[in-house]
Structure 1
Amino acid sequence: MLKILGKIGLLVAALAVSAVWLVVLRLKDVPLPLLAAYGLLLVGLVAGLLWPGVLGRASTRRRVLAFLGVPVGLGTLGLYLAVVYYVTDLPVLLALAAAGCLAWAATTVLHGHRAASQTRRAFLTGGAGLVLGVLSGLSVSWVERHRRDALTRSDQPRQAAMRAEGKRSRIADGTVRVFPIHTGDTIVTYGQFYGGLDGWEGLNGYLRTLVDKTQIAVPVYAYLIDHPRHGPMLVDTGVNWEQAHDHDGYYDHNHMVSRLLTQRDEYQMAPEQDLRVHLARLGYDAKEITTVFLTHVHDDHAGGLRYLPRASVVMDRRDWEQGVLYPYSFDLVKDNLSFPAFTSGPFGAFPAGQDHFGDGSLILLPIPGHSPGHMSVLLRLETGSVLFMGDTLYTLPHLATDQVRQTTIGGADTVHQMEAARRIQNLLAADPRTVPLFAHDNTRYQSELVAAAFAQGTPGEAGLRELRTHLESVLTPDWRLRPGHAPRFVPPASGTGVGQVEFR
């Protein structure tokens, strides 16, 4: 009985590991028919090794390995090399091969095989192991050189964009300026972006993001603030060039799990979308940025910190202590962090806030939920105010929280996020001269109206009024969507790839 229970336990554990591996392969876009066939082979192999008789009376574990183990092994290696392998794995793979050869040779010798053929095989296999071990050591420097060369080649278009004609001259006339900075796009599932009311919540929502392939591309925005008293600042920093063009290498600074559970094409960035290029084209240098207000620590908002080692980074302490997933983005600024205390008293619908400079020009508002210490930033202009939303609400239609919602963490975090959304609604309703600015808005509000209003950094009273007019054309006073503004997924024409979002 104990033996049977032990085998059942091994079967369950093996199937669990296999299921995780199949999810990883699905995340890497392996076709479902191929996954199904491969999965059946895995199940057959595990069951056959534990109960050889299930494959016929004449079956033995050796026959199971020959007829199922070899195809599974080759299939696993092939799938790994096709969809997961990255050049930095080469030294590890060579080292594993070396260890395998040496182990086989040592086993043969220790078992005392005296046949000449066995001795010769052990000698050749051990020699191959030594050669592979040496190649593993030598390949480390080659791999790093290969990565650097590849990044240098990919960086050449960015350098050309930096030098291209059409740079602006920086204007210093005592006016607060705000410039939207589009730092590329991120590929997400439609449900992750718009399915929060359709079951995309908590663990279930996270698992669906791993296997669902109804994908869309959404923009990633940071915002440059040029303040006459406080200097050039950023709200968020977007993604960086390495995240988009050396994704696997960038996330290997942490561990392979990061690489396995993310897509290597999750970020797309044209040369002119690089943060450094944007700043240079606007007449600024990344070294001039004095302060970064980080709405939250997720990597599509913090990646650009790699370019800003001199900036003071202001974020909620809870996010730093509980929310950081990829510390590498923070390596150059971790000694320059500043944590607001939120002791300036209530601000409108918000029970607490922080007047960061003490002159009322910029207010930090805690809105946890999307992350443990998410915050928004309110900046006062001469003609009104702008509210930088971060990710509490992705787009203008998301202000209709009972109709449009992104995936949420679930439980108390979802409750907190919706409370924050209602506070934002109340703040916008109380001041018609305040406009929201989003980090991922994929509607014409961002691509056309915000782009036009802030093209010179100063929207003026007319620009802010036009943005509010559009807001009121999309949303009713009680924060419901007007007809024609509900999102709908449009599959790609080819049947595979990235789809579109249309509003009806």
Structure 2
Amino acid sequence: MLKSLGKIGLLVPAFAVGAAWLVVLRLKDVPVPLLVVYGLLLVGLVVGLLWPGVLGRLATRRRVLAFIGVPVGLGTLGLYLGVVYYVTDLPVLLALAATACLAWAAAAFLRGRRAAGGRSARSTRRAFLAGGAGLVLGVLSGLSVDRVERQRREVLARGEQERQAAVRAPGARRRIVDGAVRVFPIHTGDTVVTYGQFYGGLDGWEGLNGYLRTLVDKAQIAVPVYAYLIDHPRHGLMLVDTGVNGEQAHDHDGYYNHNRMVSRLLTQRDEYRLTPEQDLRVRLARLGYDAKEITTVFLTHVHDDHAGGLRYLPQATVVLDRRDWEHGTVYPYSFDLVKDNLSFPAFDSGAFGAFPDSQDHFGDGSLILLPTPGHSPGHMCVLLRLDAGNVLFMGDTLYTLPHLATDQVRQMTIGGADTTHQIESARRIQHLLASGPATVPLFAHDNTRYQSDLVVSAFAHGTPGKEGLRELRRYMEAVLTSGWRLRPGHTPRFVPPASGTGLGRVELR
């Protein structure tokens, strides 16, 4: 009885580890049929080792290892090398192989001591061969460390050369200094997301269930990642969010390996796309600015597609909600250079419209911070006053203009109280926009014409003027009714890729 309970006790963690490994492989886009076959082999191996008789009267643990264990081992190694392996793993893999060989040598040597005659000689030879292989692999492991780091530095150096070439390319602007407040949208690459994660919040994409669906549902789209530069005559150069950086896009595994293996395993290598021209430092330089001049970053939330550019801004003060820093930070490496420059608003400036709490950051009414929790524990929006009106930087409270119809279009939400908070935040934003006809929303991930055509055009020179803001509001009213419902022709639909593989796109119908 105790023996059976012990086996069951081993079975549960073995299945849990196996299931987690299969989830990682699916996240890395391993085809489902291959995962099914591989998963059945894993189950057969575990059950066969614990209860060999289940596989037949002639089954033994030795045969299970030979006929199931060997294919499983080779399959695991192949899958790991094919979809998870990163160059910095090489020294570790060589060290593990060296350890295995040395252990085999020690076991063979001990068997030889106990054996007699020819068997002893054979065991001794095996011990020396295995030991020699272990020593060679150990030396290679040590030598590979420097080679691996050199290879990674070469990749980053090539990226730096491409960035410098993009800065020097013709067509850069001169900075305009005329006392006006300017806002520039900065497209810092794209992120690849599941369509349901972006638009499926009303179709079951919520909480743990939604997260699991992102692992298995491969209907994916690419959406832009925007940061916003503010050139303020009184308060200097500021950014709302910072987008992603080159390492995240081009050395993804290396970037997330700074924290722990789990971070790398549970992220997708191709989740970010960034051309040299889209690098934050390049975009700033092309507008006539220098990243070193940025004094303040308003971080709507700590997610890495908004915080990656902090690696370029070690001198900046980073303003963010304390709740996000303490409870929402997943990849702290992005913050390593600014973690001593953090500033947490108290939200003690009183009510602001439908918002019961706000923070008048500079004390002159020019920039208001508004808590909008839900997407993350301490998400916040930023309202900036221009001469012609106001702009509201949305962060990820709502992804796109159609998401303002929150009862019809909703992104994936965390679930429970967080979903409630996010919907409440959306309602407050609706009220703010309805009561302020000269206020326009600016989104971080809008993949519709509102962002790509109208916002980019209106803010091409940083000063949209009254007519530019009116045009944005007219378009908003053409998309949404006064009751925050979508008008016909503006409901998002997923269009699969023509080839059946790759990224789909979104149509508004």
Q: Contact 1:225 / 1:232 at 8 angstroms: preserved in 2? A: yes
Aligned with residue 236 of structure 1, among 217, 225, 241: 241
Query: What's the secondary structure of 2:440's corresponding residue?
Result: strand
Gaps of 5+ in 2: none
Aligned with residue 162 of structure 1, among 162, 167, 171: 167
Distance 1:29 1:43 in 2: 21
Q: How does 1:274-423 map to 2 (within 5 A)?
A: 274-423=279-428
Task: Provide Cα deviations, 1:431-467, integer angstroms capped at 9, x if missing partner.
Answer: 1000000000000000000000000000000000000
Q: How does 1:9-408 map to 2 (within 5 A)?
A: 9-111=9-111, 112-114=113-115, 115-408=120-413
Deviates more, 1:451-460 or 1:150-159: 150-159
Distance 2:268 2:65 in 1: 33
Task: Provide Cα deviations, 1:400-445, integer angstroms capped at 9, x if missing partner.
Answer: 0100000011101110111000000000000100000000000000
Distance 1:207 1:334 in 2: 32
Matched residue type, 1:228: P
Q: Contact 2:159 / 2:246 at 8 angstroms: preserved in 1? A: no
TM-score by length of 2: 0.98
Deviates more, 1:7-16 or 1:94-103: 7-16
Matched residue type, 1:304: G
Match of 1:484 in 2: 489
Distance 1:267 1:156 in 2: 20
Distance 1:210 1:6 in 2: 33
Matched residue type, 1:220: V
Matched residue type, 1:250: Y
Matched residue type, 1:40: L
Gaps of 5+ in 1: none
Deviates more, 1:52-61 or 1:386-395: 52-61
Query: What's the secondary structure of 1:498's corresponding residue?
Result: coil
Distance 2:433 2:114 in 1: 83
CA drift at 1:58: 1.4
Aligned with residue 437 of structure 1, among 425, 429, 442: 442
CA drift at 1:113: 4.3
What is the aligned-residue RMSD (CA, Å)?
A: 0.9
Q: Contact 1:433 / 1:464 at 8 angstroms: preserved in 2? A: yes
Q: Contact 2:359 / 2:370 at 8 angstroms: preserved in 1? A: yes
Identical-pair percentage: 82
Q: Contact 2:202 / 2:409 at 8 angstroms: preserved in 1? A: yes
Distance 2:156 2:121 in 1: 51
Matched residue type, 1:369: G
Distance 2:347 2:31 in 1: 50
CA drift at 1:156: 2.5
Distance 1:89 1:212 in 2: 28
Q: Contact 2:45 / 2:65 at 8 angstroms: preserved in 1? A: yes
Distance 1:400 1:372 in 2: 23
Q: Contact 1:369 / 1:416 at 8 angstroms: preserved in 2? A: yes
Query: What's the secondary structure of 1:290's corresponding residue?
Result: strand
Distance 2:242 2:114 in 1: 64
Distance 2:127 2:160 in 1: 48
CA drift at 1:109: 2.4
Distance 1:359 1:193 in 2: 36
Q: Contact 1:113 / 1:119 at 8 angstroms: preserved in 2? A: no
Distance 1:27 1:86 in 2: 16
Query: What's the secondary structure of 1:382's corresponding residue?
Result: coil
